[in-house]
Structure 1
Amino acid sequence: MAFRSKVTFLFLTCLIVLASSAVPKKSGRKPANPPPRAVADPEKDAEITNSCPEDGFFADAEQCDKYYECRNGEIIEKLCPDGMVFNDYNPLEEKCDLPFNLDCSQRPKLQEPIPSLHCVRQNGYFSHEDPKECGKFYYCVDGKFNMITCPDGLVYNDKTGICTWPDEAKKKGCGAADVFQFDCPAVNETFGLTHPRYADPDDCQFFYVCINGNTPRRSGCKLGQAFDDVNKKCEWARKVPECADWYKGQLTDAELDALENPPTPKPKPAGSQPSRRKPQRPKLKEVQIEE
C-alpha cells in the first residue's frame, strides 16, 4: 500500500512538471519581422502641401525673390522685378523690396539676372565698374541707370547700399588710407581715445578726426573758416596765420566779412504778427418787439 502511494505521488509530480513546461513564457524581445507600417498617400500629401493656409502673400522657402499669392484657396506663383526680393513681413501686403533691407541667407536663390548698361540687374544699387571710383555708384530702375556720387570723404558700401565711412564699408582698395592719403600719427592708447584732430595738409577748410587714434575720417569747417591746428577747432580764416589767404580768389573781402558778421535781421514792427487768439463772437443784442 505504501509502495502504491509513492508511485502515485511521483506520477502526479511528473504531470505537474510537464504541464508547467508546456505553458509558453513571455519574451521581452521584439518579433523579428514587425508588421509593415501604413504607406503614405502621395496624392493626399500633395493636396495638403498645395493648399493655402489662408489668403495672403507667402515667401518661397528657397528663392528670395519668389513668392506665392493665396486667393480663395488658389495658389499663384509670382516673381519680384529683377533685383528686388520679397518682403514677407506682413502676409497681407504684396511688397518687393531692396535686398539690403532683408535677410535672404535662409533662401539665397534668385532668378536669372537681366543685366543692362551699368546695371547688374534691372533694379537696385550697384558699384561703379572702376574699383578706384570708391564714391560713385549706380541706381538702376527698370534697367535704366543714374550715377550717384557720395559726399566728400564717404564711399559706397556694397552691403548697405548707401554711402558710409571707408572703415565701415571695408571695401578693397577703398580704405581710409586709400581714399584720404592720410595716416594718423602714432599716439598712446589714452590719447587715442580722445579722437584727436589734425589739419588737412592740402586744404585749410578741412581736418581729420582719428577715431581711437588710428582711423582717419575727414571733416570740414564752414565756408570762410579754416581749421586751427594749434587750438584744434574751426576759426575764421583771417585768424589762422597759415590760412589767412586761403579764400583769396574764391571769395571777396566783403563776402568773407558778411559770412563772419551776418547782418542782423530787422525786428518786425509790433502788431504786424497775426494774433493767435480766436476772435470772439459779437454778442447779439436783444431786440424788443413792441406790441
Structure 2
Amino acid sequence: MTINRALTALLVALPLLAAADMVGTDDWLYPAPVPAAAASAPANRIVGVPGSTVRVTQDQLHDFAKVVDWHPDSHPQPPPIILQAQTPQGYACGFCHMPGGEGRPENASLAGLPLAYIIAQTKAFRGGTRHSARADWFPTTAMQRAITAATDAEIAQAAGYFSQQPFRSRLAVVETATVPATRPLGYILAPVDGPREPIAGRIIEVPDDLEAFENRDSFSRFTAYVPPGSIARGEAVADRIGCLACHDEQMGGWGPGRSPSYVLRQLRAFKSNARADADAAPMQAVVEQLSPSEMVDVSAWLADQPPRP
C-alpha cells in the first residue's frame, strides 16, 4: 500500500473509530459537570425568562430550598414542599422537577404520573432499592438525599399534586446520522460551536434555548437527536416484547413524549438491577431481552409518540 493510500484509508477510518469510541462509553447518557472556564455570574445579577414578568437574582435562582416559579399562572397553587424545603439545607421538590412537574432530561417529569407510582418510587429511593446504573450519577443521589427529609404526609401531598398536573411534551425527536457538537453542562449536554459528529448509536438531547434552561425555565423546550431508523425499530421491539400489554393504560397518560435520555437511564437501571424495588421484577425480565441498541430504539420510539389526553 502506498503512503497516499494509507493516509486515505486512515482518514476514512477516523470517523468510524470515533463512532466506535462513543458507543463504548456512556458519558453521553450520564454527563458530569466540568469546571467552568469563566467566573460565574454575580450573585446579585437580575435574571428572567421569556414570557414571565418574574425577576430574581442569580443567587435566588440557585437556592435549592426555595424555588423560583417563573410561570405561577400555569398551574394550581402547589403544596408547600414543592416550592419551599423544610430547612435551608434541604431540597424543594420543584427545584429539580419544576413547579408543575415538567422535569428536565436529568430527572423525571412527574406531571401526570400515577399517584401510587410516585409514592412507591419515593419509598424506593428512601429505602435504598432504587439507584442509578451509574453510581456516580448525582441527580439520583440528590433525590435520595432530598426524600430522607420529607415526611410521609409531604410525600403524599406532593404526589397528589404532581399526579393531577397535565403532562405537556416540549420535545422534538429528530432522526439523524450526525449531531451538533456538545459538551457537558451540569447533568445535560449543551450544544457548542464545532463540526457535527456521528451520532454513533447515541441519544443526544439538548435544550433549544440554553440560557432559559440554565435559568430553570419550566417552559424550556428540547431536541432529542436519535439514530436513523430508531423510531421504527423501537416500535417493532415494543411490539415484539409486548410493552403495551402492561403499559397501555399508563402509556396513554405518562409514557409518550418524555425525555428519551431519562427513559434510557431507567431501562439501564432495570437491566443492572439498580432498580430493585418490589415492582421492578417485571421490567427486569423485559429488559433482560434487550440489547443496548434496542433500548436506545425503544426510548426513541416512546419519546416520539404524542401524549394522549
Please tell me the TM-score bracket, short chain as reference. Answer: under 0.3
TM-score (norm 2): 0.18
TM-score (norm 1): 0.19
Which one scores higher on RCO, CA 8 angstroms, separation ≥ 6? 2
Instruction: Give the structure with the higher percent helix.
Output: 2
Instruction: Give the structure with the higher percent strand.
Output: 1
